[in-house]
Every structure is written in C-alpha cells, then in structure tokens.
Amino acid sequence: MNLSPHFTLEEMIKSQSGDRAGIDNLPLPPHREALRALCLHVLEPIRECFGVVIVNSGYRGPELNRMVGGAASSQHCLGEAADIEIPGMANGDLARWIEAHLEYDQLILECYKPGIPSSGWVHVSYKSLKPNRKQELTATVVNGKMTYTPGIAK
C-alpha cells in the first residue's frame, strides 16, 4: 500500500526487532494518515533531491516501542516521526539540508560522530494537525545516557 508516490506503508512500519518478536505493528487510521503526511511533506522532497531515502524506523506501535525502549511520548508512536539515512551521505549533511529546506516539527541529529559520515541517523517528525515547532537538536550518548543539545552540531 502506497502512502505517497515513493513510500509504502510496509516500509514505514517495518521493524526487524518487531518481526523477530512476532509483533505486527499495524497503525490505527489516524497514525497511518500522520505517516502519509510525513511521507508527503518530508520524505518525498528529500527523495526528490537525493534519489533515495532509507527509513530505519517509522511507526512504532506501543508493543514495539516498549520492546525497543522508546520514550512513551515518542512521535514514532503517533506515526509522526521517522529515522532516516541516505547511503553515501553524512547524516550531519542530511540534517542540515532538511533544516535549510523543509517544514518539520522536530529534527534530531542522533549519535552522529563528525568525521564518520555513516554514523548515527536523522530523526525527523512532522505534524499535520498542529503547528510544527521547527526545533533542532543534536543527541549524543554521554556516560551511557542520551543527551540533547540545541541546534544541529557541525
């Protein structure tokens, strides 16, 4: 089932951990519509510019989210967020491109190590029913704990 011209529901709900645990991870209709808005307004423009977007994690139902230790308030659980990468492109560069070109709610450069282009990933969310906050953060692990600082780190 296509959510937008180049993104399917299947790739937005896929989880290898979920598959292994036998979790079907199917979104309710409002969450499916939120995924569609995320695809249309964020993922499609990125794909149009770079030709490909890899979705590492999109929707997480409550069961899957608990299993992967996600925050209960995670926008992944609402279908509003995806963790993405582009092969061959530094995740820091991807985050800065999104910051410069797109409307989004929250943009987080996660676990990125400058100098190691493939390290980390980009978390991006989009709200279709409420105003988008346009908030940028960088997340790094400090003493075993995910720590957030404002802005996209250079």
Per-residue contact flags (x/-) with Zn ion for residues 113 to 142, judged by CB under 5 A? ----------x-------------------
Least gap, CB of 121 to Zn ion (angstroms): 8
Choices 37-45, 61-69, 81-89, 94-102; region in contact with Zn ion by CB under 5 A: 81-89
Q: Kindly tell me which of 31 and 123 has the beta carbon lying closer to Zn ion.
A: 123
> Does an H or E element contain 12, and which?
helix 9-13
Q: Give the number of residues in contact with Zn ion, rule: CB under 5 A.
A: 2
Secondary structure class of 148 (helix, strand, coil): strand
129: left (phi over 0), alpha (psi -120 to 50) or beta: alpha
Choices 25-33, 47-55, 79-87, 92-100; region in contact with Zn ion by CB under 5 A: 79-87
Q: Kindly tell me which of 23 and 78 has the beta carbon lying closer to Zn ion.
A: 78
- Told to check if 83 binds Zn ion by CB under 5 A, we report yes
> Cα-flanking dihedrals φ and ψ of residue 109, to 5°?
-85, 110
CA distance 32 to 26: 9
Token pair 């794909």: residue: 47
Two tokens, residue 147: 């720590």
What are the residues binding Zn ion (CB under 5 A)?
A: 83, 123
